[in-house]
Structure 1
Amino acid sequence: MRQLVKFNSANMNVTFFALVAAFGGFIFGLDAANISGALRFVSAEFELDSIQQGTLVGGALLGVILALFFTGTFCEKFGRATVLLAIGCTYSLSSVVSAFALSYEMLFVGRFIGGVAFASITVSAMYIGEIAPAEKRGKFVSINQFMIGLGLLCAFVINYFLVKALPTSSWLTEENIWRVMLGAELFANAIWIALIFCIPESPRWLAKKGRDGEALSVFEMIASKGSAQALLTGVKVSLENNTDLDTFSQLKTLFSAKLRFVVFIAVVYAVVQGATGMNAVLFFAPMVFEQVGMSVENTFMQTITTGVVGLVATLVAIGFVEKLGRRTLTLAGLALVVVAHGSTYIGFKQASYEFNDSAMEELTAHFEEKEISIALLAPFSGKRFSSDVALKTELAKQFDKKTLPLVSGVIIEKTISNVNAVLVLFGIFAFLAAFNLSIGPIMWVIFSEIFPNKVRSVALPFAALVQTISSWSIQQFFPWQLDNMGVANIFLLYAGIGAFGLILMYRYLPETKGKTIEALEVELTNNTMKGQKNSNA
């Protein structure tokens, strides 16, 4: 039974409803940061290789891929708010299974279930896009990315203090710390489930189901009474012009020639957003900072900085998305992505690793403190490696899978030289800022705007599916790429993808700010790629 919370002004109502819907993004942020912090300890616990590490992290996105095949149908049948409630319960199940996992396989199942719940971001964007006024829709949909950033920051802070307390804690150990990280999400899940009962169903969905009285009541909460009836009338006219379609018919319409341009824009944006490397930095943050030569504690400290940078950039995006528009922010952000990844590539390119007397002395002391056989270090004495790939190849031969995750970071820290840490850190933080300032939040704004009412229930999940597959490929293969390509070449690849996206977006991306969903439907379905290119060139 819903107990709706109503404020005195329409703006406050929309803000509250949007924040609650976007709270799933906060849970997503918590989960992403928690698994990035837990991965080192999980890898040692279950003796994982690089492919298994990627599979474990990418398992969540495999769950998303499965969920997105059904999300549209469920949203159409049961409503957006009801699906969000089901997703909140699924998150809770994922947290329990993950925290109490007894094996790698059981933890993968927990991560997979959590991935099913990641569909909340798509449903949130759909819900917010349907309740927010046209002139403020970009700002409200961007709340999704803000909540993700807030969740990341909270988890990074918690993980840092857990790792900092690890050496002196009487109950926290390297064997159970990851369970604490993954189980902490339950508290946030419970809050979200309670809040979902306080928001109404989407008025556009209610109108589509013929529940005009309920739809009008919701419109009166999120708009002035004078405009509420006009909004409902506009939705009804749009629905009358578009016959009610089942899921298969919606998919057929989505891929028709009339919507070809809209689908092209969505696919390009989704691929570029996913493949420029955010999930590598997001889910493997401590591993990335480890490559610079930081201690374990410092890598977790730097993740807090990444959380702050991402959150501040998202706030800037929210403030400017209606002023500068979606197109300007996207192009500026992608240009900065290319510069940022180029900087990271240059910073890492000349790095080398030398086991000199000083490094051997410090490593010996560390191994003795951790009760690891110092005989394992002997073959490396006096050696120098010209690349991180060569170093990791030899480390994998010498150390077993249980020990390697716990020693690789300190070995890199003590032996690395010629790395330009300033360029690397600038590149990583500039990329985080660029992503959260532009393609991170703006993608969901674009998705919530460009699809016609008659196909929205399948179009948003389809676009999210493309983005998810793109992101999954990054997560799945990042640990393997670190071992076989080297960190410098990985970021060079991301820079190339960003440049490719920048060219396509410059030529084809339309501006959508300040227009109703119904108006955009008329404009975009009557457009062609040729016409758009000419109008934006």
Structure 2
Amino acid sequence: MNSQDVTMDIQNDESETHSRQTPRKYLRTIAIISTFGGLLFGYDTGVVNGALLFMSRPDQLNLTPFMEGLVASSLLFGAAFGAVMGGRLSDKYGRRKNILWLSIVFFLAALGCTLAPNSETMIAFRFVLGLAVGGASVTVPTYLAEMSPVEERGRVVTQNELMIVTGQFLAFLMNAILGNVYGSVGGIWRYMLSIAVVPAVVLGLGMLMMPESPRWLVAKGKITEALKVLKRVRDEACAVVELNEIKELADAEAHLEKASIKEIAVTPWIRRLLFIGIGVGIVQQITGVNAINYYGTQILENAGFTVQAALIANTANGVISVTATLVGMCLLGRLGRRKIFLIGLTMTTITQCFIGIFSMTLSDQPYFPYLILSMTVTFMAFQQGCSAPITWLMMSEIFPLRLRGVGMGTVVFFSWIANFTVGLCFPVLLTSIGLSQTFFTFAFGGLMAIFFVAKWLPETKGRTLEQLEHCFQNYKTIDCRKL
């Protein structure tokens, strides 16, 4: 299809286009519906932060610190495999259809966790739930990146991060309400877990009405369908230009074999992107952010709060996460990705050091619990305002179209494995070496993260996905770290 054919199609469908939502409104609708996958991601990972206190009781699941780590991290282990499977399935069947299937898994797994009679069943269903979380962590950002115009890609993709932290905040809030009002009721944790069923239903029903990614449609030779989608999320002139740009790239890659891990490993510039992507995913985890997301209530209880007070205080981490993500979305339009990431990592590392120092020197002071709370809130402000949005945005941007699903699935696999390691080990570390040494360990991870980002992270702001691919292919002559 050439430019003239595309123009004729636009003219033939002009009246249909005018009867629909404006491109900006329709794109906003797509983002809201699809990011319910992010909301479920956030809720299902965050609800354990509080629910563990109740399911660990002797009259419930009677969990040891190691079993607590398994319950929390089994979801993360499942998410690692869900990320790989999600990338492949979204490449084969489409981003939209994959998200639709994931909503069904979210629904069934949430019910399974709610009704689990013992710790083994809970761990099994948390693993299945993790498959859905991992699939969503790959597919939703990819879907949003491919639907968005270049000037809005950062803001739109970061809406998924906003929904993730919103889901975590809702989990913290519901834990606090249910834990304080009905904390004496046996099995209150089941009600905490069951709430995740509702957004799973919304995601499934909503995705039935959403379009497929135009870039995936072009890759499958469905040019007319891709044009119709682009016309709904772009101005008509922009839709023509973008379709031809996508089609040219797809035609240039049409002679190549099906994307595979082997190809990623043997092609130098793609192998370099794989290294960067894996590094970005691991960087997100080794700072210890998810130790606070999954065990924030236990950290605050360890610092001196009562169980009920810790549940309430932990909601502050959720509030600041949502607020900081909104600020981060504004920063994406003003500053480069690298600068934002480095600011975030520097401040979170400093905060981890302060938590370790205060735990060593001020733990006997009456204000110590509030001091630790202020530090976790500060950490989450910079983590969710700077580091976290860039992580998922970068991973959705760096891989070429033909390899995007498998490439992102691979790097997110490693990110979830790092997440699993932190989630499994944190309760044991807290019990064995204490709060201060645990956070000094995370601070060391933060220093390594700063070095990696400064040396390797490319700058993607202001470039189309196709322009980025050209830059990465010529990395020996083009410094991709510069705007």
- Fold shared by both chains (TM-score > 0.5): yes
List gaps (5 residues or longer) in structure 2. 1-16
What residue is the counterpart of 2:136 in the other structure? 120
The one-letter code of the counterpart of 1:136 is E
For 2:305, what is the secondary structure of its paired residue? coil
Alignment CA distance shift 1:281-1:246 (3 Å): farther
The 8 Å contact of residues 510 and 536 in structure 1, kept in 2 or not, is answered as yes
Alignment CA distance shift 1:72-1:246 (3 Å): farther
- How far the C-alpha of 1:257 sits from its partner, in A, is 1.0
The 8 Å contact of residues 458 and 482 in structure 2, kept in 1 or not, is answered as yes
Question: Would you say 1:43 and 2:56 are equivalent positions?
Answer: yes
Question: Would you say 1:74 and 2:89 are equivalent positions?
Answer: yes
Question: Would you say 1:336 and 2:347 are equivalent positions?
Answer: yes
Alignment CA distance shift 1:106-1:321 (3 Å): same
Encode CA deviations 1:51-109: one digit per residue, 9 max, x unaligned. 11111110001111222332222112110000001100001111111111011111111
- How far the C-alpha of 1:236 sits from its partner, in A, is 0.9
The one-letter code of the counterpart of 1:272 is V
Alignment CA distance shift 1:462-1:497 (3 Å): same
Alignment CA distance shift 1:69-1:246 (3 Å): farther
Alignment CA distance shift 1:496-1:7 (3 Å): farther
Question: Would you say 1:470 and 2:418 are equivalent positions?
Answer: yes
Alignment CA distance shift 1:83-1:315 (3 Å): same
Question: Which of these residues, 461, 465, 469, is aligned with residue 409 of structure 2?
Answer: 461
| Distance in 2 of aligned mates of 1:37 and 1:303 | 9
Encode CA deviations 1:9-61: one digit per residue, 9 max, x unaligned. 21111121122111111112111222111101111122221111111110001
Q: Percent identity?
A: 27
For 1:447, what is the secondary structure of its paired residue? helix
Question: Would you say 1:488 and 2:436 are equivalent positions?
Answer: yes
What residue is the counterpart of 1:89 in the other structure? 104
What residue is the counterpart of 1:519 in the other structure? 467
What residue is the counterpart of 1:347 in the other structure? 358
Question: Which of these residues, 230, 233, 238, is aligned with residue 227 of structure 1?
Answer: 238
For 1:46, what is the secondary structure of its paired residue? coil
Question: Would you say 1:102 and 2:145 are equivalent positions?
Answer: no
What residue is the counterpart of 1:445 in the other structure? 393
- How far the C-alpha of 1:136 sits from its partner, in A, is 1.0
The Cα RMSD (Å) is 2.0
The 8 Å contact of residues 30 and 185 in structure 1, kept in 2 or not, is answered as yes
The 8 Å contact of residues 83 and 137 in structure 2, kept in 1 or not, is answered as no
Higher Rg of the two aligned structures: 1
The 8 Å contact of residues 313 and 373 in structure 2, kept in 1 or not, is answered as no
Question: Which of these residues, 147, 157, 165, is aligned with residue 163 of structure 2?
Answer: 147
Question: Would you say 1:129 and 2:142 are equivalent positions?
Answer: no
What residue is the counterpart of 1:390 in the other structure? none
The 8 Å contact of residues 507 and 536 in structure 1, kept in 2 or not, is answered as no
Scaled by the length of structure 1, the TM-score of the pair is 0.83
The 8 Å contact of residues 264 and 274 in structure 2, kept in 1 or not, is answered as no
Question: Would you say 1:505 and 2:450 are equivalent positions?
Answer: no
The one-letter code of the counterpart of 2:155 is K
Question: Which of these residues, 464, 479, 488, is aligned with residue 427 of structure 2?
Answer: 479
| Distance in 1 of aligned mates of 2:424 and 2:151 | 39
The one-letter code of the counterpart of 1:506 is A
| Distance in 2 of aligned mates of 1:422 and 1:244 | 61
What residue is the counterpart of 1:18 in the other structure? 31
What residue is the counterpart of 1:9 in the other structure? 22
Alignment CA distance shift 1:290-1:111 (3 Å): same
Encode CA deviations 1:207-263: one digit per residue, 9 max, x unaligned. 111111110000001111112121111111111111365666354235521223322
For 1:438, what is the secondary structure of its paired residue? helix
Alignment CA distance shift 1:477-1:419 (3 Å): farther
1:241-260 aligned at under 5 Å gives the runs: 241-243=252-254, 249=260, 251-253=262-264, 255-260=266-271
For 1:514, what is the secondary structure of its paired residue? coil
The 8 Å contact of residues 259 and 406 in structure 2, kept in 1 or not, is answered as no
| Distance in 2 of aligned mates of 1:342 and 1:419 | 18
| Distance in 1 of aligned mates of 2:329 and 2:469 | 24
Aligned length: 463
What residue is the counterpart of 1:278 in the other structure? 289
For 2:56, what is the secondary structure of its paired residue? helix
The 8 Å contact of residues 49 and 172 in structure 2, kept in 1 or not, is answered as no
Larger deviation, residues 481-490 vs 12-21: 12-21
Question: Would you say 1:214 and 2:213 are equivalent positions?
Answer: no
The 8 Å contact of residues 68 and 465 in structure 1, kept in 2 or not, is answered as yes
Alignment CA distance shift 1:7-1:142 (3 Å): farther
Scaled by the length of structure 2, the TM-score of the pair is 0.92
| Distance in 1 of aligned mates of 2:53 and 2:423 | 15
The one-letter code of the counterpart of 2:470 is V
Encode CA deviations 1:292-317: one digit per residue, 9 max, x unaligned. 10011111111211111000000001
| Distance in 2 of aligned mates of 1:447 and 1:264 | 11
What residue is the counterpart of 2:300 in the other structure? 289
The 8 Å contact of residues 50 and 480 in structure 1, kept in 2 or not, is answered as yes
The 8 Å contact of residues 254 and 455 in structure 1, kept in 2 or not, is answered as no
